[in-house]
Structure 1
Amino acid sequence: MPFTKRLIVALVLATATAAFAAPTGTAQQAAGSAQCANRETPPPPVDTSEQPAPGVKAPPALEVPEKPIGGDRLGECGLILPPNQAQPPSGITAASWLLADMDSGAVIAAYDPHGRQRPASVIKVLLAMVVAKELRGDTVVTASAEDTQQECTCVGLKDGGQYTVRQLLQGLLLTSGNDVAHTLARQLGGVPNALRKMNAMAKELGALDTRAQTPSGLDAPGTSTSAYDVALIFRGAMKYDEFAQAVKLPQAQFPGRNGGTIMLTNDNRLLANYDGALGGKTGFTDDAQHTYVGAAERNGRRLVVVLLRGQQTPTHITNQAAKLLDYGFAMGPGGVGKLVDGAPQPKPNVVSTQSNDTSSDAAADPGDTGRPTPTAFGTVGLPITAIAGIGLLAAIFLYIRNKRAKAARARRQAAQAAQGI
């Protein structure tokens, strides 16, 4: 084969091999994002509740992690089951749901677990977790006029009324009081500070799809969460006794506006209707639709279930949760991912011992996030570059061999001419 053709063949082979190499992580993520409608943001709002105030820009969408938190399969946006597992029960209306083992953290089944939705009042679990961490249950708090003027549902706080943090926590979790949420946020340093603490807690847990914009879960620009994150948050909150005790109360006495006490009744139907129920939280807004998180225990096994953007018909959202819990308890060992025990940590900086040059490639970038560094070739650029290099070396080898062959032929021809052949 002539050298030119050989060179072309070698280069074509190298290029084709590189082109058909495994796609980069970034390309896979982009493909997944294109297929998953809510990978970056919740669905569009149905009303004006998320319009920014005049002169205020809506916050940008939260960054999508390069690798799905909890495992690669959890980046899928359809039904995710272990191999050879029976199909989930019919009648589940949630756009996103998840079942996980509370203790091991194993995610045993899910549907679009990292799809971004709105939490509605299930975000109160995150607020309650911060309260349980930072405030003593017997601390006395005085309600303000602003607390009593929140968009309800409300417990019915009285301006100037005094309540313990424990009572407020019960009002927050049993009857989803938005007036109580505002009062507790003030006790945490004011609403902006409370939101900062809530979002810092979410990030610490690894709930990177979550951004609380109101302490109560009322819709606001930039609000976001996912079924995976809600499970992480509920699992974390259950480690605090104040939360775990409050969320499982069927009823609790609460100071009345006109003296005496009133009885708060838990709006989580599973407490009365599901054997082994450990507590949970419901939610609803026009934009979020119906949301739920709850847990139950059976034969020493504790499961958490989350449903986001569900409907109440033909089956109530808590009854859908009960069906998924039954399904989960019937499943054998195995899983499709894991509830992480904290946010992914950045790689530690590695300082070269060979040189003091701070620009050396041996020193880690201070902005390193622990993720593969994108290059012109993506996260698998090194193998592709190596393949292309091999093709180039092959072409050079053929070129050198061709020149040597020509030189040898020339020497033979000269020798024959000298001998008169």
Structure 2
Amino acid sequence: MNRFAPNGGRLTAAVATAALAVPLWAAVAPDPAVAHPLGAAATTSWRVTPCPKAAGPRVSAPTRPSPPAADPVHRAVGGDLLATSGLAVPPAATPPPGVSATSWLVADLDTGAVLGACGAHEYATPASVQKLLLAATMISKLDPKRVVTITREDVDIEPGSSSVGLVEGGRYSVETLWLGLLLASGNDAANTLARLGGGTAEAGVREMNALAARLGAYQTHAVTPSGLDAPGQFTSAYDLALIMRACVAEPLFQKYALTRYTQMPDQGKHHKGFQIQNQNLLIDNYPGVLGGKTGYTDLARHTYVGAAERHGRRLVVSVLGAEYVPLRGWEQGAALLDWGFAQPADASVGRLVDSGATAANPSAAAQAADTPGTGTNALADGGTGTPPLLAFGAAVAAAGLVLSAAARRRRGSRVRRH
């Protein structure tokens, strides 16, 4: 049984035929009788082409783990034009920029329209952008003013991986832990927040997977709360856009994600406080930024998710499997955002499915938070609209996928964050 597929992976012939993935080199000759989410025009003019690529260095990376078998239903979530490993853009769109990422997606946060994508539903390794799923899962559950004590398990992370420098036995506010997670990509902060939200870190990961299923992020499966590499851990560019949309709907997330720096508190005379800075350089280099997250491991390569607003329009971008040259991960995200903002407001090759949640009801933690906070900056409005849902996406969402694989925290190898 395919644990990533609804109904145990059993598909009707009609659904399987309509959602089959198209090879990278193939040109599409759509059947006019098959309904497409973009209407009749898309069935006659849309074709699959290779994704534009930027020249980059040859990198000798470890062998990536084998992903789950491709599920044709999941590959078509949000629209069957997204069920391809190649480029999906509207027929009249300007060419997107060449990037080194193996997959990416640009979508409108408010309407849910996917403006373009490369391998939207291709399985990939998340690295630290998985911390966005942790934030979406736990930020509404935890009182930011609560002060907690750090355990040995919290700081048991892979040597050399990113840490915010939590001290065993030290006491920190939950707000400080969120800042350590989103600014410094602290894996120790990730372990702590997963434990606080779930009772144990392992239970926290199970809650992360349950939320991914509710959001419609059916290709996402977390094994570690931090994104440290582990067998069976995957995501997709499409799923990350759904997860980022859930994050941006939380005012507390935007407060933390747009913080440029903060001070980690003293923990006794042997552990003096220190300053940490935000690693997401988009916040200093892209007007209208709403937040984001960087990531890197040997297996995942560079990953990036970000969002920005321009002239009242809010877009999200997700980038997976990128190399650092000729553009860094956040710079590739910025180039794709620029491309997205240049497209017409009605441009679309699909939709981000709607989980039914509404940003009009922020979490109780957000409502109770002290808005100024510690070391934070002024933030953009954190609300987001509820996008429309394609009929096909609704059928998939109604399938009610439940990810039931046990989530044991395993540590990756040779992992470093930037």
Q: Same fold (TM over 0.5)?
A: yes
Q: For the Cα contact (< 8 Å) 2:103–2:321, is it kept in 1? A: yes
> Aligned equivalents of 1:63 and 1:82: distance in 2?
24
> Aligned equivalents of 2:313 and 2:208: distance in 1?
29
Among candidates 75, 78, 84, match of residue 70 of structure 1: 78
Q: For the Cα contact (< 8 Å) 1:144–1:160, is it kept in 2? A: yes
How many residues are paired up?
Answer: 314
CA pair 31-68 structure 1, distance change in 2 beyond 3 A: closer
Which SS does the other structure have where 1:252 is aligned?
A: strand
Q: For the Cα contact (< 8 Å) 1:283–1:292, is it kept in 2? A: yes
Amino acid at match of 1:251: Y
- 1:93-118: per-residue Cα shift (whole Å, max 9, x none)? 11100111111111111111011101
CA pair 179-224 structure 1, distance change in 2 beyond 3 A: same
Q: For the Cα contact (< 8 Å) 1:64–1:209, is it kept in 2? A: no
> Aligned equivalents of 1:33 and 1:192: distance in 2?
37
CA pair 300-68 structure 1, distance change in 2 beyond 3 A: same
Query: Whose helix proportion is higher, 1 or 2?
Result: 1
Amino acid at match of 2:288: G
State the partner residue of 2:187: 178
Among candidates 321, 324, 343, match of residue 312 of structure 1: 324
CA pair 213-62 structure 1, distance change in 2 beyond 3 A: farther
CA pair 306-159 structure 1, distance change in 2 beyond 3 A: same
- 1:129-183: per-residue Cα shift (whole Å, max 9, x none)? 1121211111111111222231220011111001111110110001100011111
Which SS does the other structure have where 1:134 is aligned?
A: coil
Q: For the Cα contact (< 8 Å) 2:63–2:299, is it kept in 1? A: no
- Structure 1 position 340 matched with structure 2 position 365: no
> Aligned equivalents of 2:206 and 2:23: distance in 1?
28
Q: For the Cα contact (< 8 Å) 2:194–2:201, is it kept in 1? A: yes
Q: For the Cα contact (< 8 Å) 1:346–1:370, is it kept in 2? A: no
> Aligned equivalents of 1:294 and 1:65: distance in 2?
27
Kindly name which structure, 1 or 2, has the bigger radius of gyration based on alpha carbons. Answer: 1
Q: For the Cα contact (< 8 Å) 1:26–1:66, is it kept in 2? A: no
State the partner residue of 1:274: 286
Tell me how far 1:316 sits from its aligned partner. Answer: 1.2
Q: For the Cα contact (< 8 Å) 1:345–1:370, is it kept in 2? A: no
State the partner residue of 2:96: 88
State the partner residue of 2:314: 302
**RMSD across aligned positions (CA):** 2.8
State the partner residue of 1:234: 244
State the partner residue of 1:160: 169
- Structure 1 position 204 matched with structure 2 position 214: yes
- Structure 1 position 101 matched with structure 2 position 108: yes
Which SS does the other structure have where 1:220 is aligned?
A: coil
Among candidates 122, 128, 140, match of residue 147 of structure 2: 140
Q: For the Cα contact (< 8 Å) 1:98–1:305, is it kept in 2? A: yes
- 1:222-248: per-residue Cα shift (whole Å, max 9, x none)? 111000000000001111122111011
Percentage of pairs with the same residue: 45
> Aligned equivalents of 2:74 and 2:260: distance in 1?
42
- 1:285-312: per-residue Cα shift (whole Å, max 9, x none)? 1111100000111111111111000010
> Aligned equivalents of 2:144 and 2:248: distance in 1?
16
> Aligned equivalents of 1:97 and 1:306: distance in 2?
5
CA pair 211-64 structure 1, distance change in 2 beyond 3 A: farther
Q: For the Cα contact (< 8 Å) 2:90–2:348, is it kept in 1? A: yes
Gaps of 5+ in 1: 1-22, 37-44, 51-57, 348-367, 372-421
Gaps of 5+ in 2: 1-12, 27-59, 357-392, 402-418
State the partner residue of 1:54: none
> Aligned equivalents of 1:346 and 1:337: distance in 2?
15
Which SS does the other structure have where 2:117 is aligned?
A: strand
> Aligned equivalents of 2:88 and 2:67: distance in 1?
31
Which SS does the other structure have where 1:278 is aligned?
A: strand
Q: For the Cα contact (< 8 Å) 2:24–2:85, is it kept in 1? A: no
Q: For the Cα contact (< 8 Å) 1:49–1:220, is it kept in 2? A: no
CA pair 140-33 structure 1, distance change in 2 beyond 3 A: farther
Among candidates 224, 248, 270, match of residue 258 of structure 2: 248
Structure 1 residues 246-395: aligned runs within 5 Å: 246-257=256-267, 258-333=270-345, 334-342=347-355, 369=399
> Aligned equivalents of 2:76 and 2:329: distance in 1?
27
Tell me how far 1:66 sits from its aligned partner. Answer: 5.8
CA pair 223-62 structure 1, distance change in 2 beyond 3 A: farther
State the partner residue of 1:26: 16
State the partner residue of 1:381: none
Q: For the Cα contact (< 8 Å) 1:70–1:340, is it kept in 2? A: yes
Which SS does the other structure have where 1:146 is aligned?
A: coil
